[in-house]
Amino acid sequence: MTRTTLKRRILEAVHETAQDLHELGFIDKRAMQKYDGLCIAPVPDYTPEQIRSIRTRYHISQAVLASLLNTSVSSVRKWEVGEKHPGGLALKLLNILDRKGLEVLV
């Protein structure tokens, strides 16, 4: 087991314990938000090549990807040439598409 895997497992255990304590009323909402921030891995950034690769992996056009991510075709085009970078909800949905597949978003 690598160090990163071990760290991830420990953080998952800590988060699960904190979630249980929150549900039982021992941890308030604000403290739980701190645990969420500490324990949940951030969404990685994607390079233009990675975005294009994800799109071609699922054989979808820029227009279809834009529709799935609730953004414009122009934005997807700019992401793929490196003029802009996805952020917010579009970045999270792109990450879900990359990790879980097209079926999750359709």
> Could you read off the pLDDT of 3-24 as tens digits, one per residue?
877 888 888 898 899 999 999 9
pTM here is 0.67
Tens digits of per-residue pLDDT, 17-74?
999 999 999 999 999 988 888 887 788 999 999 999 999 999 999 999 999 999 999 9
Ordered domains of the chain (ranges, CATH): 3-39 (no CATH), 48-105 (1.10.260.40)
**Cα distance between residue 76 and residue 84, in whole Å:** 9
38-to-34, 70, 95 alpha-carbon distances in Å: 6, 28, 19
**Alpha-carbon distance 84 to 77, whole Å?**
9
Q: How far is CA 87 from CA 5, 25, 31, 38, 93, in A?
A: 26, 34, 26, 20, 10
| Residue 94 neighbours by CB distance under 10 Å | 25
